[in-house]
Chains A and B, each alone.
Chain A
């Protein structure tokens, strides 16, 4: 299907998410939409898929203008979408999820499960995507769930397939498999719109790359374009994609985990006898696909989750099951994974957020009374030192961009004496410029002789920062390797194929 977008504009209040965007996808073409978080890619795709209505512009399918009242209509016109956050009902079976909205029925509106099952099997065979139609989605691994999502998108003879950041939750091997699927679909004539911010993937699979920045089309380029050039187009200035790291003398133990066992919210063992040592002056990067226990482990280290057994030692002192307050006071700097939930009080001012972990302590409080001038001085100082872009220190944290919110947290954590520094997904959702900045801060902390633990599901980040790389799978460390290890080998460890720890 030939898909043409003509001058699509979409505004949210005074914010223009898509500013007169035009692009064309030829039949059988893999068209990449490259842009940073917040550039307007997802908005554009939601417009194409009928979830949002454009304020201006039109969509033409094979030359015919269309207007969708809802996404059901888009699906009927041959558009399928694989969403970044899967649109699957966890408690439904694969078959129920795939047919939802287009259910085959018998008399009395009864669901025709046999027919649904047959449809899934046919689809599976046609596209070589194997799934059990009766499996309950929540019991499937993420990679298989995505396969279900793709099947669902293809199930109504989709001739345009939209993939919105499909690789975020996959291991390198699964990413390769996905790209194979994309190529064979395109070869069979399906047009593909592939949205991502990862340069490697774009170059590997795209026929055409359209770069979007701040809601506008910047350029359309060929996949031969080099990574630095693509990054420059995406960000609007040249950026360095690697972090400069000098060799640093490694000292004694800074943060040590001994046989740590932690349960998740459902009471299942999420961290299964994990031992790991972070020494002074070294960055240990904990890699792994999201949901393999990293979140629970970080929470346990920070005192936010009960440690069932084992020991956590910070600078020689046992901090197992101490309160978060005590652990922070012992000298752990912590950038939490979910900055909105655990890192900031969004409705409070930047200056208050900057003393969130030391509000009762001199100079910010004396005799139980807050010293507001000291708080303000501290805020002015940190805003300047950490280059936080804000209208003022009294602005609420919610008024900041994601990158600047993260800088507030990093500034707060790094502005006090630390023994070790731990950051979970430190650059999630940040623009390339902020990523660069945060990475430099992390390396500086290591250079100053602190032990640093980075927990990240972005393999690029892990490889860029880690002096040593530990890989976590199903609650266990499947291997600790050095930073020269290949992506493929780390990918195997991420899929659990490593040696037992």
Chain B
């Protein structure tokens, strides 16, 4: 709507932004085509296998592997990215951001092909596509919990920068409870309560005492990081029976899990994965289709207006921040349930990447999910490319979510518009 209005006036803001996005895409495309493509020796091949190498993945199919010449495939991928960029520059499409997302996927795919290229004319170096996607999906799942937590809090006008802390609390308590009771339901409940408790702390300080929400959030993260390493040292290390690190069992969905490649990624996952999917649908529906969502968004955009029609702003914010905390807490348990034993610092900034996904996804559940998937893949590659012959430090790839977020926040790509009252303390008149 507002874009249409802008277009009728001296069009530039949208145009300028899309021109920047397009230029970045073209640059990325050229980089792919040259560095991952043209400079690669022509004998190098990349081999993607669709049949899981890891025998733990149940795979009742045989599709074989796809072998491609690295040089020309990556050059082609790069040119596709360039073409998308040119289209964005010339046509200024409204959905420029989705094309940017597609380019990011192209980049990651090209990187994967390049990193896994054979080191000699006759060598073999299979990349297990299923393993890459399965690994990425469990990281994406954690990010989805985190960014949905952010959606719940920030749509109501409270910045929850403590997601990382709520992850830690959920993972720690979840690990202990699971180890003692051998029951993931109880562990999940405990994690949700732990997250909700620290959500409540944030809400209490932010709403009752109007403290700066960013500072409170950072304090909660710092406190929980320190507390969990202390408790780890004092409790978990001497009593390893409290930190067994059992992984949650996979629940295969009959028939669907047999679909090649997609089956293991989408239909042979833990309960946490399926619950995340349900949560995406529920929050999306609730926020944009129901009375509850309209009121929450009103509170996040214009709390005074909400108050003037009898909506209790403070209660709404409490509810949402506590719910958001619970969701992040479950995210912590899901992390532990897919990555194993609790260790201090092992959520390694995932809460912040989730925040980045929230911003990149523009405070919508669906956008946050897309961003979570993208960042999940890049985080997985960052953590797993060491095995391949990559001459660049993989940490560079780890910066990817943050670089994107900086670009978004700086207004380089896309217009970010958080809820108008996000982070602003509310005082009744």
Contact = CB atoms under 8 A, between A and B. Distances in A.
A498 to B, nearest CB: 19
Contact of A108 (B1, B290, B309): B290
B297 interface: yes
B268 to A, nearest CB: 31
A410 B118 CA distance: 77
The dominant DSSP class at the A interface is loop
A71 B310 contact: yes
Interface string B264-298: 00000000000000000000000001111011011
A111 B308 contact: no
Given A89-B297, A139-B1, A268-B13, A71 B290 contact: no
Interface string A12-53: 000000000000000000000000000000000010011110
Contact of B291 (A81, A105, A138): A105
Interface string B1-30: 110011001101100100000000000000
B308 A103 contact: no
Interface string A55-85: 0000000000000001111010000010101
B304 interface: yes
Contacts of A108: 290
A186 interface: no
A267 interface: yes
Interface string B289-321: 111101101100110111111111000000000
Interface stretch (A90-98, A438-446, A451-459): A90-98
Contacts of A105: 290-291
Nearest to B421: A89
Interface residues of A, number: 39
B367 to A, nearest CB: 15
Given A89-B302, A90-B302, A110-B289, A70 B310 contact: yes
A298 to B, nearest CB: 21
Contacts of A267: 12-13, 16
A110 B290 contact: yes
Interface residues of B, number: 31
Contact of B309 (A46, A52, A100, A109): A100
Given A89-B297, A267-B16, A81 B308 contact: yes
A97 B301 CA distance: 12
Contacts of B9: 268-269
Contacts of B309: 71-72, 75, 87, 100-102
A103 B294 contact: yes
Contacts of B298: 89, 92, 100
A88 B291 CA distance: 17
Interface of B: 1-2, 5-6, 9-10, 12-13, 16, 289-292, 294-295, 297-298, 301-302, 304-312, 420, 428-429
27 contacts: A46-B429, A49-B308, A50-B310, A70-B307, A70-B310, A70-B312, A71-B308, A71-B310, A72-B311, A73-B310, A75-B309, A88-B302, A88-B305, A89-B298, A89-B305, A90-B301, A92-B294, A100-B305, A100-B311, A101-B309, A103-B291, A111-B294, A139-B1, A139-B2, A266-B13, A267-B16, A268-B9
